[in-house]
A and B are shown apart, each in its own frame.
Chain A
Amino acid sequence: MKDRTATYQNFPDEYKTRGGRWLTSSLVSDEVDPLCHPLGPNNKVVLAPGIVTGTAAPTSARVSVGAKSPLTGAIKESNAGAAWAQDVARLGLKAIVIESQPEEKDKFWLLHITKNGVKFLPADEYLGKGLYEVYPQLFERFGKKVSIMGIGTAGEHKMAMAGVCFNDLSGRPSRYAGRGGMGAVLGSKGVKFIMVDDEGGPGVSIDNMNLLNTGRDKLRDALNTHAISKPKGALNNYGTAVLINIMNEAGGLPTRNFSSGTFESAAKVAGEAIFKGNKKRLGKGLYNHACSPGCTIECSNTWYKRDGTEHVSCLEYESVWALGPNCGISSLDTIAEMVRLCNNYGFDTIEAGCTIGVAMEAGLTQFGNGRKAIQLLHEIGKGTQLGSILGNGAAVTGKVFGIVRVPVVKSQSMPAYDPRAVKGIGITYATTTMGADHTAGYTIIPEILHIGGKADPLKVRGKGNISRKFQAMTAFLDSAGHCLFIVFPILEIAAGYEGMVEECNGVLGTNWRVEDVTRIGLDILRMERKFNEAAGFTSAHDRLPEFMKYEPLPPHNNVFDVPDRILDKVCKF
């Protein structure tokens, strides 16, 4: 970005089987100094569609965004489902790497990528504005067929809670690679938007179309028959926020800044309440929609106001929890407004919710005060002095206000499962290369949902292996370009799992077998750990915050009692 030039390079042979997270983490590992300042000139942002993204593989429009994280100081990949991912892939691009910084301070640019190349256009007119105002203007200017990647004001201000925003299928600024402050790194490089138009692009290069089609059919059949992922199935009906009630009944729904595992008003904000509330307001049942083209699961919801007009999409489980129960807030309308503000200003909803929770603990307002919570989100979005503190996340906010109960690992806020009530997910939070992250090794599947196996959430035994297994498999799925939610059917339908691997073989010409998924996943994790070690991380960083070891969580009144040696063993492979 220093002199605003774009060069095209042939895809190096050593990377030829890599995509998505595997590719972003490889490029960051190979090209970024682990000791660089995340917001300085030597960090790089890498955006890469998955291996099968852009093909007819179902539920595969994923993009991985990688860099050294300003939130954690470690390697980061955050991914999202969006048409943008497919469009990049169909232009024949394996990755977009953004390097250096403009010499002029606070100058931002819009990159317009088409089959003819990259144009750099000034983005001044869009600065300081909400993304709900700007995205329609961009579609008006560049045409309805383009896809948008952008950062909000949080990214302009280089805040560590700034995510990367992609448009959904209705053009809303709502699909986020939210975690780890990737929006701040883009902001530090003066990149405000990357518009992609795949018109006339060469498409994805495919080695063996028959094999790709065979794999696609097997995976599609698994998705279409499993009770979770099938059309009008569990995810399509109630969305991901259906987990609110189950985590509450399991005593693991972090409430009021991780001080309790149950929330007395959980049922009022759960997926079922969203369905019911919409039905009442619209006079008919509303089923969910796809976040990106080619998704057959369709788990994204929309919340409507009392007058029947749209309030926001999407009320995801993590977002509803972070801004709702975690802040003691029990009104879906208030939570919807908070999610809308996060989308508008460009925040990661998990980091925003945990930060507000810590701010409430610090006495900036009381738990449950939605009006004040909304005001705090505006402060962050506008970059006021207080907002600049809060915008750097829960860890910074806790330090500034002298709070001990700060639910972070490697400075990244924990998602919606308390590790004292679900031990395996705590092991994932502690040991993943990403900082506290549920998707990195989603042990909730056996521990709570009992899909593809069962494990007692309160017991420690065996959880290290489960976490490592899920972490490895996820690293592969994040690289293939599939949504993590294909995991529900493929864990129970073997042909679906085979199909996913065959799709990759069809695109790449590889001969991978199902057994290779874990091997490749562990290779990716090993590479990410190596970067983190060189950045100064040791086993002492693979730990949960101390308060979870001595502060029992009601109702189980358990502490996090996983011995350090088990955490260390998870990382030895």
Chain B
Amino acid sequence: MQKKLIEIEVRLYGKLSEYSSKAGIGKVMAVTLQENTSLSSFLDQLHLPREEVKLVFVNNQQRNNSYKLQDGDRVAMFPLIAGG
């Protein structure tokens, strides 16, 4: 049976935005994926250097790589940053 497609919003912040011509800092990229795609396999599809992705938020909560993406998710990725 063919898997259902879902659409998510992705935002790349800091230096990560430099890895995608479509990104721009904080600019919304709409991405279509197969249902139940994990964050980890989605990251593989993005062609980002994995070691530079330090924090991933989905709908305002930090998630780990096993999280299964849902339709309408807001995904935000950050490199290692600090301030205060």
Interface residues of A (CB under 8 A from B): 227-228, 234-235, 237-243, 245-246, 249-251, 261-262, 266-267, 270-273, 276, 299, 317-318, 438-439, 442, 444-445, 448-451, 456-458, 484-485, 488, 555-556
Contact = CB atoms under 8 A, between A and B. Distances in A.
Interface string B51-84: 0001101011110000000000000101111111
Contact of B84 (A250, A276, A485, A556): A485
Q: Which of A242, A262, A266 gathers most chain B CB within 10 Å?
A: A242
A315 to B, nearest CB: 11
B26 A228 contact: no
Interface of B: 11, 13-15, 17, 25-26, 54-55, 57, 59-62, 76, 78-84
Contact of A250 (B11, B26, B54, B57): B57
Contact of A246 (B15, B17, B61, B78): B78
Nearest to A439: B84
20 contacts: A228-B81, A239-B83, A240-B84, A243-B84, A245-B78, A249-B76, A250-B60, A251-B60, A251-B61, A266-B26, A270-B25, A271-B83, A272-B13, A299-B83, A449-B55, A450-B62, A451-B82, A484-B84, A485-B84, A555-B60
B26 A242 contact: no
B83 A242 contact: yes
B83 A317 contact: yes
A450 B84 contact: no
A234 B80 contact: yes
B25 A273 contact: yes
B18 to A, nearest CB: 11
Nearest to B58: A249
Contacts of B59: 555
A270 B26 contact: yes
B84 A234 contact: no
A92 B61 CA distance: 51
Given A272-B13, A272-B26, A450-B55, A238 B81 contact: yes
Given A237-B15, A249-B76, A251-B60, A242 B25 contact: no
The 7 lowest CB-CB distance pairs between A and B, nearest first, are A267-B26, A240-B83, A251-B60, A272-B25, A243-B83, A249-B76, A249-B57
Contacts of B80: 227-228, 234, 449, 451
